[in-house]
Amino acid sequence: MSKLFYFHKQKRKLMIAMTIILIGSSYLCYSTKDDSFFNNQEKSTIQSNTEYDADIDGKKLVSVHFLDIGKADSILIKIDDKAVLIDSGTSQKAKVIIEYLKRQDVTKFEYAIATHCDKDHVGGMSDILKEFPTDVLLMSSRGKNTKPYIAMMNTATKLKVTQLIPKVRTIFYVEGVKFTVLAPGDKAMAAGTANESSIVLMMQYGKKKFLFMGDAMEVSEKEMLAGGYDLQADVIKVGHHGDTRSSGEKFLDAVDPAVAVITCDEGDGTSLPEKETLEVISKQRILLYRTDKDGTIVMTTNGVDIKIEKSNRG
């Protein structure tokens, strides 16, 4: 794999400087009465970076793998010997994903997240759950009657995987890495589309932050902007494969990322990623990676720096 080392990049007024914190082992609070999470008011508030100041040694590594599986999402997060999966691509790519996960020494998942019901995000989840023991499956509530969603739920039920629909502002940790659910909110759910119902996650380790957008688009983005969240992130996984209805200029201004990733396949007959989206990203001087050009993209952070590796597919 070719390598790019990305350290303290100055982007406009933003100087990226980072610190690691070790918060503890993975845990999650949830209610068994209504299959939803609960957090007290203090934990429900998104915390600022200043609360993460701690002595660090820079030795602990977290890796984020954006898999090259066409216009589809599957993202592996490795945290020491723990693993989290965000989406599972199409059913046709399940075998490819499973083989990749095994090469990364994944044996089980603390959490598997199905951001929404589209087949290019949850199509492979049933097969993956069969292959890897999973503690908790987080999923959006829309689309329960779709074929891939039903297959996923049936498998999770059979294997006794805990199935939960997270509330906005839910916070959970895996080995000191913080995950915060930012969407879907009420307006996004009311939009009535699978894409707008996407679970949006912010991951923070030290001062490094990754924003995973699923297929969330303009309604969800506007709702997050209005919600008063700290949306700043160093890396954004662009919503809906570079659709113009996602990655609005105001939203990207708030996120102020140094790096963007688009999961796409330029030759698949769709218009994604769209020219207008690419122009907005370029205008804001965001370093762009695309799975259709860069192959599988792996970002590794110690909470201080990020190292980016790409397989150079094209």
| Band (56; pLDDT cuts 50, 70, 90) | very low
Whether the predicted pLDDT of 50 surpasses 90: no
pLDDT at 304: 92
**Which domains are delineated in the chain?**
2-310 (3.60.15.10)
What is the tens place of the pLDDT at every residue in 96-120?
Answer: 999 999 999 999 999 999 999 999 9
Tell me: the pLDDT tens digits for 186-208? 999 999 999 889 999 999 999 89
Confidence (pTM):
0.83
In this predicted structure, what is the pLDDT of residue 104?
98
Tokens 């912010």 correspond to what residue? 202
Look up residue 10 and give its amino acid: Q
pLDDT score for 52: 42
Give me the chain's average pLDDT, please. Answer: 82
Task: State which amino acid sits at residue 98.
Answer: I
Give residue 41's pLDDT.
26
DSSP 269: S
Q: How confident is the model at residue 57 (pLDDT cuts 50, 70, 90)?
A: low
Determine the Cα–Cα distance for residues 198 and 188; give it in Å rounded to an integer: 8
Neighbours of 175 (CB within 10 A): 18
DSSP-assigned beta bridge partners for residue 298: 65, 309
